[in-house]
Structure 1
């Protein structure tokens, strides 16, 4: 079963190469005379939803498959603020969805234990990473859903990780589990029992709570997303801070991330401490591959949340809020939410070295390239989560606190809308396709809803012609 999951993972990842060809053509000129979005027009192809909830293209529909506050099969409530998700093939048309929840100990309205944590005393605190001395438990963690794609119904949902803080994004592993990331570096003290800022692993199979064991060797910082190389099992990580770094974790035992390993930070060869954000000047140009080197970093559990500061001083490149990340065929892609002159977002591509992670890597280093940079919020306004569509296009979610879309970028470089949230100013999170490619799952975070979007995906781009 592990080998089957790995093969499926590689097949899904391989489509990324075609999709990201488009990004190389999506930069905007300062004049805005010919923008990628201008090729299709604002929201062209989306039909107004009579319910004023989610606009979609003709022939598409959405279904709310889970709502915060609903009773789950384990007797707990669906927590609020759903974020990153992974979708796994369970066989016979069943999909396992592991869903993050970006919650801190407060507000309590997002708690799985009741609006005032009134059911907390009925829960085994030993199964929580941080029970908060029974007063301020971590309300992040993950829930797992078993979804029947044929009937469009959730057959089971339950809490699968408890007691963590602000589980934002994460990533799927080739062996069939979800790596969930804490975007929080709260220190232990008072009613806070443990330090936070870690990655946890959640298997997709087997109902019930996972043992909440942090993978400490992967570092303590504001984790956002991860992507796992299906061959080497090297884990790449983004950091959601305005001065964050890109990290690489080389496991000692590729079958056990808990066995330790080396944590490294990405640097640009011959450009020490390069600032890639392009805020004050155009330091990084589009489609200009730069040789990369990876620097070892020590004291990965520093209580001072200073890995990014020490890494930058050591020579690592700096990025503007690293967020969504996806692994392709020998390529890695990630979004920086507020990079670029207007702080509207960037997308980078990293091409792996043929000798990635080995002593021979320096002979033929990996290369980093700025693929897309939005200079106008009318194109991509603060891209966050990203994934790849079955037909090869890039799919991006916006998080701008205003009008949020899901966008596609096709192989001709045209940006087209897939969905628009009309119900609220909430970001759309966790976009991921089912293994069959028939369903796109996404969360409307502040609404507390998880959606399944279906339709004639093969005809989605017809309105572009």
Structure 2
């Protein structure tokens, strides 16, 4: 038996209990396999260099180092994680800047009901390597610093001064996902032996105080999990990932998405999407590039992740073929879009507009391969709802 098939059978056998427990939800119950996209084949590249399915169109909404059309604001370099917020008849798209030193931070674009930019501005400055993050139910943006002593910054797209939230831990933060049902915020860590955390605020809606916890589980790809308190969230002198015996190691934690009593995280080091059933406290693989049949695996360089109201997951690539792939609730994976001519970049910040008919994202380094050449896009079309 080939090693890939052996691994797949082992993972499926080990995860039988977890699969049965979550199968009734009818969504993402096994490692996803190749399939034809529900949107059909990709067409040739459009004027913006994007290959899209029929019925979808693209536009460039901002370029790094250039003034955003219709405003006086110069868009930041190295655009990364993002999210959308309803704003009256329009909406806001927030984007991080993964510039190191003190050049990072985050910016926002405000759109009217027609999808035209009406304003742009900074919402966070003077921070470093702001990679991903997450949206809160109270309409703030958690901007995460991807440094060894990185912090989570709570920012205010609708106005207000950004505030550091040290109680959420000092480590190489990547993404965050708020869970209003359990009143916690999940956090990923971009280390080869990173951990998966959750922050339990003392008061929901106030992130100034609370308890940082780490996921405890076996070393396999499925099973049960629990949470344990991290004794010293400051991470000094002992890193947070090394403080709790039995905490589970993840190879390069990246994106994080919470929906319908499930939280997903991506790990770039092993090209996996992990799924955590919050009702049964079990976990399993939603995707593994070594378990795809028939091959080849469509998704590599697994990075940022978001979801649509239909339950489809959209996973961006850091490298790979510069694609956003989609995983459907029936465990099928396919390519949704591809950016051509930008092999030295990565796709970042996928986020849907409130109506669900527009997908925003960036190419972090664009055609130039430099952080000053980032491009932020919008794709409009008949997304499944």
Alignment of 1:139-178 (within 5 A): 139-150=103-114, 152-178=115-141
Deviations 1:77-113 (A, max 9, x none): 2111101111011121x111111111113xxxxxxxx
Superposed CA RMSD in Å reads 2.4
Query: What secondary structure is seen at the aligned counterpart in 1 of 2:167?
Result: helix
- 2:99 maps to what in 1? 103
- 1:197 maps to what in 2? 150
The structure with the greater share of residues assigned to strand is 2
Answer whether contact 2:58 2:378 (CA < 8 A) is retained. Answer: yes
Mean CA deviation greater in 412-421 or 236-245: 412-421
Query: What secondary structure is seen at the aligned counterpart in 1 of 2:243?
Result: helix
Which of residues 311, 321, 333 in structure 2 aligns to 1:415?
333
- 1:405 maps to what in 2? 323
Which of residues 362, 368, 392 in structure 1 aligns to 2:283?
368
Deviations 1:298-351 (A, max 9, x none): 22113446111233xx11011111111111122211111122xxxxx1111212
How far apart, in 1, do the equivalents of 2:28 and 2:181 lie? 26
Alignment of 1:300-379 (within 5 A): 300-304=233-237, 306-311=239-244, 314-339=245-270, 345-353=271-279, 366-375=281-290, 378-379=297-298
Query: What secondary structure is seen at the aligned counterpart in 1 of 2:365?
Result: helix
Q: Which runs of 5+ in 2 are unaligned?
A: 1-21, 367-373
Shift in alpha-carbon separation, 1:86–1:458, aligned structure 2, 3 A: closer
- 1:251 maps to what in 2? 201
Q: How big is the shift at 1:397?
A: 0.7
How far apart, in 1, do the equivalents of 2:359 and 2:83 lie? 11
Shift in alpha-carbon separation, 1:22–1:338, aligned structure 2, 3 A: farther
- 2:178 maps to what in 1? 228
Deviations 1:90-137 (A, max 9, x none): 121x111111111113xxxxxxxxxxxxxxxxxxxxxxxxxxxxxxxx
How far apart, in 2, do the equivalents of 1:81 and 1:300 lie? 28
- 1:390 maps to what in 2? 309
- 2:13 maps to what in 1? none
Query: What secondary structure is seen at the aligned counterpart in 2 of 1:308?
Result: helix
How far apart, in 1, do the equivalents of 2:127 and 2:215 lie? 27
Answer whether contact 1:44 1:417 (CA < 8 A) is retained. Answer: no
- 1:266 maps to what in 2? 215
Query: What secondary structure is seen at the aligned counterpart in 1 of 2:163?
Result: coil
Answer whether contact 2:326 2:335 (CA < 8 A) is retained. Answer: yes
Shift in alpha-carbon separation, 1:315–1:158, aligned structure 2, 3 A: same
Q: How big is the shift at 1:232?
A: 3.8
2:20 paired with 1:24: no
- 2:16 maps to what in 1? none
TM-score scaled to structure 2, two decimals?
A: 0.84
Q: Which protein is bigger by CA-based radius of gyration?
A: 1
Shift in alpha-carbon separation, 1:159–1:54, aligned structure 2, 3 A: same
- 1:59 maps to what in 2? 55
Query: What secondary structure is seen at the aligned counterpart in 1 of 2:85?
Result: strand
The structure with the greater share of residues assigned to helix is 1
2:350 paired with 1:431: yes
- Aligned pairs, how many? 349
Deviations 1:228-261 (A, max 9, x none): 1113431110001110001111111213111x11
How far apart, in 2, do the equivalents of 1:52 and 1:228 lie? 34
How far apart, in 2, do the equivalents of 1:221 and 1:162 lie? 19
Which of residues 165, 178, 189 in structure 2 aligns to 1:215?
165
How far apart, in 1, do the equivalents of 2:31 and 2:205 lie? 39
Alignment of 1:235-246 (within 5 A): 235-246=185-196
- 1:85 maps to what in 2? 82
How far apart, in 1, do the equivalents of 2:59 and 2:350 lie? 14
Answer whether contact 2:298 2:335 (CA < 8 A) is retained. Answer: no
Query: What secondary structure is seen at the aligned counterpart in 2 of 1:176?
Result: coil
Deviations 1:349-370 (A, max 9, x none): 21225xxxxxxxxxxx622222
Q: How big is the shift at 1:377?
A: 5.9
Answer whether contact 1:23 1:372 (CA < 8 A) is retained. Answer: no
Query: What secondary structure is seen at the aligned counterpart in 2 of 1:142?
Result: strand
Mean CA deviation greater in 316-325 or 47-56: 47-56
Shift in alpha-carbon separation, 1:255–1:217, aligned structure 2, 3 A: same
Q: Which runs of 5+ in 1 are unaligned?
A: 1-16, 28-35, 106-137, 186-195, 275-282, 340-344, 354-364, 460-465
Which of residues 63, 66, 72 in structure 2 aligns to 1:70?
66
Answer whether contact 1:220 1:305 (CA < 8 A) is retained. Answer: no
